Structure 1
Amino acid sequence: MDHDEARVKLLDAAEELFYARGIQAVGMDAIRSGSGVSLKRLYQYFPAKGDLVEAYLRRRDERWRRSLVDYVEAHSPGDRVPAVFDWLRGWFSEDDFRGCAFINSFGELGEGAPGVARVAREHKDSVRGHLRAWAGSESLGDQIFALVEGATVIAGITGDPTAADTAKAAAQTLLRAASAG
């Protein structure tokens, strides 16, 4: 197994286990077992568990945002904000949906893991930036961001993907008010 393949296997196992069970509930031995990579090699790539958590979150951020952006930008500019909530509805409906990995990680580790906190903030700042661009203003984008985050938390806790529909209706109300203003 070459360097890249081992790293991918480690990150795949980490993502599956951390997202499903939580970071603190998963030890490095479980990552080793789930990846098929030796513990010695795991620690060569990720000397501390925090390094692995940060790498997992950075990779998840890249894939998650790319999927969202690709979906939303396939729509006309006037339909992009509502499309965000359609994309969220699909994500919330996935069998393995367990809420936001960034909120979950920060909730578990908080400021005690400054690298994880930094990655979570960077993710949220990037999402907010996209929403500001799609909404056409910082203020409206920030309001839409609050709806996205709220819907994600609600869906994560309740398991009900219709939280995206409720937030979409609220976003459409905000968009109408902004265009009438």
Structure 2
Amino acid sequence: MTLLTLTPSHRETDVQRAASGAADALFTERGVIPVTLEEVADRAGLTLAELTAAYPTKRELVVAVLQRWHGAWRRALDRIASAESDPRDEVLAIFGYLEECFEDEGWRGCAFINGHAELGRQDPGVAELAREHFLDVQRHLTLVCERGAMPAHIAQGLSLLIEGARVESAVQRSAQPARSARLAAAVLMSVYESRPTF
């Protein structure tokens, strides 16, 4: 079996981009299992032959969609890191980004959480991609915490707040979980704020 990775080995072609974008939309709307390759081709404006030349199987489309999501997350984290000089502000801005995601009318939950729930038991490769995504986010948070003179276990707590907010927002169809998680993150980090000594 081919080793799956969150980092594509090459840039998507226009046909691949159309296919993975259509698959992302359909998987988000209906889940992976009910969607057929014919439906993905139709949504993408491609023939079935064009689609299967780009992505021969639905599993390859699932991987491409997860790579898209991970790439979007990495770009958002990098953008936030460039914009915020204070590590604590950087962490809080991540929850601001989550709030923007949750306010999107098309938001139906995190692709990694949804994909793991739907496919993880039958496809260990997809489960491993979800695990690696969560670990990558936690590694990023660990580096931010180190810069902010906070212990590494704070990053674990922040990661749980992020994933919990993703789940709850999908269930509630609300952006409120991002705001609640942001407040909790601020309280958690405040424990390790440096205080002046007299």
| TM-score (normalised: structure 2) | 0.84
1:145 and 1:93 map into 2 onto residues whose CA distance is 20
Which of the two has greater helix per residue?
Answer: 1
Tell whether 2:171 aligns with 1:161.
Answer: no
For residue 98 of structure 1, give the secondary structure of its aligned residue in structure 2: coil
One of 50, 55, 58 as aligned partner of 2:67? 58
Q: Which residue of 2 is the match for residue 128 of structure 1?
A: 138
**CA offsets, 1:82-126, max 9 Å, x none?**
111111111111111111110001101113112221221121111
Quote how far apart the aligned CAs of 1:39 are: 1.4
1:72 and 1:153 map into 2 onto residues whose CA distance is 24
- Give 1:71-90 correspondences, 5 Å limit: 71-77=80-86, 78-90=88-100
Tell whether 2:47 aligns with 1:47.
Answer: no
1:128/1:145 contact within 8 Å kept? yes
CA RMSD of aligned residues (A): 1.8
1:50/1:115 contact within 8 Å kept? no
Q: Which runs of 4+ in 1 moved over 4 A?
A: none
1:69 and 1:46 map into 2 onto residues whose CA distance is 29
1:115 and 1:45 map into 2 onto residues whose CA distance is 20
In structure 2, list runs of 5 or more residues that go unmatched.
1-11
For residue 132 of structure 1, give the secondary structure of its aligned residue in structure 2: helix
1:80 and 1:129 map into 2 onto residues whose CA distance is 14
Quote how far apart the aligned CAs of 1:45 are: 2.4
Q: Which amino acid aligns with 1:54?
A: V
Q: Which amino acid aligns with 1:97?
A: W
One of 8, 11, 27 as aligned partner of 2:20? 11
One of 122, 126, 131 as aligned partner of 1:116? 126
Q: Which residue of 2 is the match for residue 25 of structure 1?
A: 34
Among all aligned residue pairs of Structure 1 and Structure 2, give the percentage whose two residues are the same amino acid. Answer: 34
Q: Which residue of 2 is the match for residue 35 of structure 1?
A: 44
